[in-house]
């Protein structure tokens, strides 16, 4: 049996100590969230410092701006997020798997996204959304039902919270 202050702290404050340790563990988990790291080698609009493949991918994605979202869509009549990505990369002669999750697991992850790279979002190890990084912390993507292919900022809290990683299928 322990006596004195050590016994009081150990026995009397055990629930409080356990709650504090649990809270610290939660905070540690939140702090390990990935950051959307990007690198722009020059203005993406004029194609400086970008390969022809990256320019082709980005040009095809820009041409799709305003196209309606369509679940499972892979044509100019409507795209879903992975259908848009698959179409844009096919313009550069690069074939990709069909769904965002298949793309996420098939491609090599990179630490820093450059214009033309893919950005994946979801939860755990399952990607549920993909977009094409366009430079200046912007991506083109097909956001969902009732919307059109659009440009979004990567600094929106939702994207930061659900970011899984980036991949570079182009050189």
The per-residue pLDDT for 86 is: 98
Using CA atoms, how far apart are residues 1 and 65, in angstroms rounded to an integer? 73
The per-residue pLDDT for 33 is: 77
The per-residue pLDDT for 14 is: 58
Architecture category of domain 52-167 in CATH: Alpha-Beta Complex (3.90)
Question: For residue 151, what are the contacts with CB-CB under 8 A and spacing of at least 6?
Answer: 65, 134, 138, 139, 140
Q: Give just the sign of the alpha carbon dihedral 13, 14, 15, 19.
A: positive
The per-residue pLDDT for 49 is: 76
Q: What global pTM score does this model have?
A: 0.79
Helix (H, G, I), strand (E, B) or coil at 127: strand
Determine the Cα angle at 138 with ends 134 and 143, to 5°: 100
Using CA atoms, how far apart are residues 140 and 67, in angstroms rounded to an integer? 12
Whole-angstrom CA distances from 42 to 59, 88, 114, 134 are 16, 21, 10, 11
Check residue 98 and report its DSSP letter: S
Between helix 52-63 and helix 81-90 the angle, nearest 10°, is 130
Domain layout of the chain by residue ranges = 1-32, 52-167
The per-residue pLDDT for 46 is: 53
In tens digits, what is the pLDDT along the chain, a chain of 171 residues?
455 544 444 556 555 545 544 444 444 444 447 999 999 865 544 556 789 999 999 999 999 999 999 999 999 999 999 999 999 999 999 999 999 999 999 999 999 999 999 999 999 999 999 999 999 999 999 999 999 999 999 999 999 999 999 999 976
Whole-angstrom CA distances from 142 to 2, 69, 117, 154, 161 are 64, 6, 16, 14, 18
The per-residue pLDDT for 15 is: 58
Q: Give just the sign of the alpha carbon dihedral 56, 61, 64, 69.
A: positive
């Amino acid at each position: 049996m322990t006596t004195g202050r050590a016994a009081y702290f150990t026995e009397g404050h055990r629930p409080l100590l356990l709650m504090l340790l649990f809270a610290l563990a939660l905070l540690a988990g939140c702090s390990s969230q990935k950051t959307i790291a990007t690198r722009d080698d020059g203005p993406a609009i004029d194609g400086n410092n970008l390969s022809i493949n990256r320019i082709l991918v980005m040009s095809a994605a820009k041409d799709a701006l305003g196209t309606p979202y369509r679940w499972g869509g892979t044509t100019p009549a409507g795209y879903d997020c992975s259908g848009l990505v698959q179409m844009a990369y096919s313009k550069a002669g690069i074939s990709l798997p069909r769904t965002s999750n298949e793309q996420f697991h098939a491609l090599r992850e990179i630490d820093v996204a450059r214009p033309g790279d893919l950005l994946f979002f979801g939860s755990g190890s399952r990607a549920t959304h993909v977009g094409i990084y366009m430079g200046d912390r912007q991506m083109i993507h097909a956001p969902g039902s009732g919307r059109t292919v659009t440009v979004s900022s990567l600094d929106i809290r939702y994207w930061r919270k659900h970011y899984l990683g980036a991949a570079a299928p182009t050189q």
